[in-house]
Structure 1
Amino acid sequence: MRIIRYQNEESRAVLAAVTDEEMVYSLPYDDFIGLIQAAEEKGLSPLALVQEMIAAEEPLKVPLSQLSLLVPIEAPEVWACGVTYERSRDARNYEATGGKMDATTFYDKVYDADRPEIFFKSTAARTIGPDQPVYLRSDSNWQIPEPELALVLDRNGNIIGYTIGNDMSCRDIEGENPLYLPQAKIWKNSCAIGPAIRLAETVEDPYAFQLTCRIYRDDEKVVEGTAVTKQLKRKFDELVSYLVRDNEIFDGTVLMTGTCIVPPNEFTLQDNDRIEIEISSIGVLNNPVKAQQSATNALR
């Protein structure tokens, strides 16, 4: 069972459930956390509550493919994990050493360390949903998407759902100096999540998710990569445990778990590219790419 948000004919955000048969049922809640809280109050699991509500309801006549989907949750905070896959470690080493792959760096150390890399990624105002444009940073010449499985958490750090995340990244800025990481990761429309949230209780094995990333330019596929979450070096509970350690999180916090799909080193995103990130049993997160004027040029 997946949960989506869409914009109805009155331009109002509506929460809905999507069955594995692609049937869509509207739900009487304003957002995903409202559904979770209602289930807690009734002493039911979220899945049981949804099944109870849709049992006597008719599905929408409009198919899922024709709905105007919104970001599935307005996450108060989005955090992200780095160097959780071997492929990510290798890519970070390439950036930091100018291609000297035999050099040992701090990325090797964090890959093998007890403590994972966790950094702040986005706020609700900076996070976009399906079909909205991700922006290119104006002072970077080497930018890529980072397709990731993202965990939706409650305030106690429990995993209540899974969604798709795109952690847009500037490889040249991070490679120049690791202290520049916030600038390499955070800017307007640099984070996308969606199109749906798969209820955690409906996932038998979260390490069996299949990920695929495709990048299109002039309607031609120029990059495609695949991965599976079993390639993760760390477990999800371990990542969450470090996020909540001496830290307050909020209902609906999203934690991206790292990427194992990295485009070729000579590739960088361009204006009007399109990014598709697909994760099995969750859906496809589609975002066009747009360049934005630099602040200097905008003032002229």
Structure 2
Amino acid sequence: MKFYSETELSSGTFLGRVWRPDVKGPAVVTLRENRVFDITSAAAPTVRDICELAEPAAYVAAAKGEYLGTLDEIAAGTRSDLANLHFLAPCDLQAVKACGVTFANSMVERVIEEKAAGDPQKAEAIRARVGATIGDSLRNLRAGSEEAAKVKQALISEGLWSQYLEVGIGPDAEVFSKAQVLSSVGTGADVGLHPVSSWNNPEPEVVLTVSSKGVIVGATLGNDVNLRDVEGRSALLLSKAKDNNASCAIGPMIRLFDQGYSLDDVRLAELDLTVEGTDGFILKGRSSMKEISRDPLDLVRQTLGRHHQYPDGIMLFLGTLFAPTQDRDVAGEGFTHKLGDVVTIESPGLGRLSNTVRLSTECPEWTFGISSLMRNLAQRGLL
């Protein structure tokens, strides 16, 4: 499967990472047409360093590089084998944060998960009741507005108020830590489900790349793998539901903002999701950034600012409109993953992110952390 179309390759400025077995560490790379070039240097040894520059896209476009191979050749590398050249998640030292409940449909599904206490058999009846009360009143509702406050009061009177609706239409966004620094996996890798979960789903999202100064320098795609039953039992289990081995996929590469691609393109982005099971099951889904209830700039400002600094910047998941209600096996129980599912997320301009679902306990262990990166860069004379 190709990561990018010919149009994307010819018009975009891309920044990413690959694993280089010859140096036993990661390399910062860019694409020039269909060819991958290593642009790692002592001046900018990490993706984080490039994103902190005044003009990241201009730097990448002008950077001298070492040719590593074609996009297809490197994409064919085995992700679990460190003896192979292969793509990694495009971020490195950035904190990985995520915004939840930023779309009306996913907001309602979170209410259902909470009311059903993680039981999919109860979800269908609750879904009907919540839908009858809310209808489409949350559609195009701007979070924190006077109209949102009125809807809040109406829901309280119906006994349907929820902590998820509070962050969905109230003044404060939900922002949580999705993954540890350097733990995210890239395209082609396995993504992990915690073995305790029996009700789970992919979450296709746009992921912003933000500098330490709060400047949005680019965007990519992400899969915020979600355990619906675990989070549904209690919001206090959010960390267990979200942050597990290989549970965060980002990629294929960061598309840096330049004259041909900007935040306005992100605001109009359409994401398509396909899940293909080994049992022949196919799920199609879509998430449209045009229907987000909070502007990306607002989400960045609520995450990073005088109240909280991130010296190495952040990767910020913007949330999803996708809510998987299509039954897979049993009527009324909706969708859940099966091992071996191939999840593909694609969006014009941002390419395609594809991963295979496994148990977190079966995915390759995460062993290359910050200390490993620093030692590796020092050994290569890049620090």
TM-score by length of 1: 0.86
Bigger proportion of residues as strand: 1
Shift of 1:229: 1.2
Distance 1:108 1:26 in 2: 45
CA RMSD of aligned residues (A): 2.3
One-letter amino acid matched to 1:237: L
The 1:61/1:184 distance shift into structure 2, 3 A limit, reads closer
Q: Is the 8 A contact 1:75 1:254 kept in 2?
A: no
Higher mean C-alpha displacement, 139-148 vs 173-182: 173-182
Distance 1:147 1:162 in 2: 13
Q: In the alignment, what sits opposite 2:316? A: 255
One-letter amino acid matched to 1:120: S
Shift of 1:219: 7.5
Distance 1:48 1:189 in 2: 32
| Structure 2 SS opposite 1:260 | coil
Q: In the alignment, what sits opposite 1:79? A: 97
Higher mean C-alpha displacement, 166-175 vs 196-205: 196-205
Q: In the alignment, what sits opposite 1:297? A: none
Distance 1:33 1:198 in 2: 14
Q: In the alignment, what sits opposite 2:190? A: 133
Q: In the alignment, what sits opposite 1:64? A: 71
Q: Greater Rg, structure 1 or structure 2? A: 2
Query: Is the counterpart of residue 3 in structure 1 residue 15 in structure 2?
Result: yes
Q: How is 1:1-300 mapped onto 2 (pairs within 5 angstroms)? A: 1-8=13-20, 10=22, 12-19=25-32, 21-29=33-41, 30-37=45-52, 39-40=53-54, 45-53=55-63, 60=67, 62-67=69-74, 68-98=86-116, 99=123, 100-101=126-127, 102=130, 103-201=160-258, 202-204=260-262, 205=264, 206-218=266-278, 220=280, 222-245=282-305, 246-264=307-325, 266-293=334-361
One-letter amino acid matched to 1:213: L
Distance 1:139 1:248 in 2: 34
The 1:70/1:25 distance shift into structure 2, 3 A limit, reads same
Shift of 1:9: 6.2
| Structure 2 SS opposite 1:149 | strand
Gaps of 5+ in 2: 1-12, 75-85, 117-122, 131-159, 326-332, 363-383
One-letter amino acid matched to 2:261: V
Distance 1:248 1:50 in 2: 26
Distance 1:177 1:28 in 2: 44
The 1:195/1:221 distance shift into structure 2, 3 A limit, reads farther
Q: Is the 8 A contact 1:214 1:221 kept in 2?
A: no
Q: Is the 8 A contact 1:75 1:123 kept in 2?
A: no
Distance 2:39 2:279 in 1: 36
Which deviations, in whole Å up to 9, do the C-alpha atoms of 1:124-152 show, x marking residues without a partner? 24321122211111111111111110111
One-letter amino acid matched to 1:70: L
Q: Is the 8 A contact 2:245 2:361 kept in 1?
A: no
Shift of 1:35: 2.5
Shift of 1:96: 1.5
| Structure 1 SS opposite 2:346 | strand
Distance 2:282 2:93 in 1: 31
Distance 2:203 2:186 in 1: 15
Q: Is the 8 A contact 1:88 1:260 kept in 2?
A: yes
Distance 2:21 2:96 in 1: 30
TM-score by length of 2: 0.69
Q: In the alignment, what sits opposite 2:148? A: none
The 1:292/1:106 distance shift into structure 2, 3 A limit, reads closer
The 1:7/1:119 distance shift into structure 2, 3 A limit, reads closer
One-letter amino acid matched to 1:217: G
Shift of 1:211: 0.7
Shift of 1:292: 4.5
Higher mean C-alpha displacement, 265-274 vs 139-148: 265-274
Q: In the alignment, what sits opposite 1:298? A: none
Identity within the alignment, %: 28
**Number of matched residues?**
285
Shift of 1:16: 2.1
One-letter amino acid matched to 1:96: E
